Amino acid sequence: MKRSSEKAASELFAALYPRLAGWCRRLVDDDETAHEIASEAFTRLWARWTTVSEPRGFLYVTAANLVRDHWRKLERERRAVRRATDEAAVRPQPEQDDPSVRLLVQSLPERLRVPILLHYYADMPIREVSALTGRKEGTVKADLHAARELLRAHLRRSLDHTL
């Protein structure tokens, strides 16, 4: 029995790791970090191997949480650098909003961010996002719409400030 479980795990890794690592790479913009996140997601899956009914979904949700943690860490580092720079500067420069979509998605509330990451970045159909998040398909669609509207409004504001 143990042999077949190891074989299934090995086949799952071979089938899903490249795509998961690529998805993470698009989100964190760094190969090494993307591989660390994808590897950690698999490590967490192996620890719960016998209790996880949807390994692919578990991997993507776990990776999304690890990406969120990575973004938070980067933001804390940015704030620390900004504080140090502001203290050293004679006159602080006005901060420009960064209109990058990745940062905008990062700023969304988790309720909206997770469906966006799973649907648009992991190419999961709404039905699968619904199953993974435990929300009805209509709720997922509404959340995706709300997230797109927030992103659109923020991008408009950012573009208006640059004109």
Q: Is the dihedral of CA 89, 94, 100, 104 positive or negative?
A: positive
pLDDT at 108: 86
Rounded Cα distance, 111 and 118, in Å: 12
**How many CB atoms neighbour CB 115 within 10 A?**
26
Q: pLDDT, tens digit, for every residue of 55-93?
A: 999 999 999 999 999 988 888 877 777 776 665 554 444
**Residues counted in the chain:** 163
**For residue 48, how many other CB atoms are within 10 A of its CB?**
11
For residue 131, pLDDT beyond 60: yes
Q: What pLDDT, on a 0 to 100 scale, did the predictor assign at position 73? A: 86
State pTM to two decimals. 0.58
Sign, CA dihedral 127-129-133-138, equals negative
Listed range (15-19, 111-115, 135-139) with the worst mean pLDDT: 111-115
Rounded-to-integer distance, Cα 28 and Cα 120, Å: 15
Residues 6+ apart with CB under 8 A from 142: none
> What pLDDT does 88 receive?
55
49 contact partners, CB below 8 Å, separation of at least 6: 5, 9
More confident residue, 1 or 44: 44
Per-residue pLDDT reduced to its tens digit, 86-124: 655 544 444 444 557 777 888 888 888 888 888 888 888
